[in-house]
Amino acid sequence: MNYMKYKISILLLISVIGVSLWTGCVKKPSPDDKVLAEVSSKFITVNDLKKRISKLPPYYQDIINKNKKKFLDETIVEILFYEEAIRKGLDRDKEFKEIMYEAKKKILIAKLIKTEVEDKITVSDEEARKFYEANKENFKSPELWRASHILVATEGEAKEIQNELAKGASFEELARTRSMDATASRGGDVGYFRMGQVVPEFEKAALKLKPGEVSGIVQTQFGYHIIKLTDKKEPGVETYDKVKQAIEDELKKRRRSELFDELVEKLKNKYRVSIKENVFNALEDLEGGKRVDEK
């Protein structure tokens, strides 16, 4: 990352902390706090910087903790910009006030939704279990197969491997030493798959096998395979513990929607909302290119 891009990214990170960056500077630091920098007779202290970093998400904290000096430098730049903007009276600018009003409105709306919706969302284990029992059909797991393979570039190589297997060589060891794809490090294990997830030739050959059986040579667009079926799972219903988190997420989503709609209706009644249908219809006509008096 070049310096200019870094400066921009740090300034963006500073904005994440909040618009109070400069207000944290003090005119007189406490005796037990060390001063890092002085800007326009105000001080940035060690505790002040630590506090700002602690308010960031963990990922950004890691970035800043590795670059504290640059973060301090950019904090100073931010404060300088703010001080100069205030001196020029930009905080009294009409456009600025409009932007601040919109920002304040959005922040307050978000806070209201958090307190009236998000903070009230709860899902008990009893509710989740009840949902699971009533919707078991939705938690069916498909038939699954697990296979390992040895993939080589030529049919001749594949025949050599077949001969070694016939003599008792380990399939997994041959996969590690001879297979040419990434599964070699796992002894050829491709993991579990369902119908339609692997290339047709591979799937057709694998599905004919019983667990423990090894196929003949199978050619696909990737080369020549020798496949070993290692496991097969019959279709069934997933256990509650396995789908519990997904159920809770779904129930929270539904509850969020319910609480939001309830809040909207409550506020509509409280503040007596009414839409003037005749005016709205006239607006629709005008936007459609039709004059009201042409009806």
Span 134-167, pLDDT tens digits: 999 899 889 999 999 999 999 999 999 999 999 9
Q: Is the dihedral of CA 227, 231, 232, 237 positive or negative?
A: negative
Domains of the chain: 3-90 (no CATH), 143-234 (3.10.50.40)
pLDDT by residue (tens digit) across 274-291? 988 888 888 877 666 555
Cα-Cα-Cα-Cα torsion 4, 7, 13, 17, nearest 10 degrees, comes to -150
Q: Is the dihedral of CA 24, 28, 31, 34 positive or negative?
A: positive
pLDDT value, residue 287: 65
Q: What is the pLDDT of residues 211-229, one digit of tens each?
A: 999 999 999 999 999 999 9
How far is it, in rounded angstroms, from Cα 273 to Cα 294? 30
Contact at 8 Å (CB) between 142 and 193?
no
pLDDT for position 288: 63
Closest CA to 265 of 273, 277, 275, 253: 273
Map the chain to HEC letters: CCHHHHHHHHHHHHHHHCCCCHHHCECCCCCCCCEEEEECCEEEEHHHHHHHHHCCCHHHHHHHHCCHHHHHHHHHHHHHHHHHHHHCCHHHCHHHHHHHHHHHHHHHHHHHHHHHCHHHCCCCHHHHHHHHHHCHHHHEECCEEEEEEEEECCHHHHHHHHHHHHCCCCHHHHHHHHCCCHHHHHCCEEEEECCCCCCHHHHHHHHCCCCCCEEEEEEECCEEEEEEEEEEECCEECCHHHHHHHHHHHHHHHHHHHHHHHHHHHHHHHCCCCCCHHHHHHHHHHHCCCCHHHC
**Residue 57 banded pLDDT, cuts 50, 70, 90:** confident
The whole-number average pLDDT for the span 267-272 is 94
Write down the pTM of the prediction: 0.58
Q: Mean of the per-residue pLDDT values for the chain?
A: 88
pLDDT tens digit sequence for 38-53: 888 788 888 888 888 8
**Amino acid at position 104, single letter:** K
- At what angle are helices 58-65 and 68-87 packed, to 10 degrees? 100
Query: Are 217 and 225 spatial neighbours (Cβ–Cβ below 8 Å)?
Result: yes
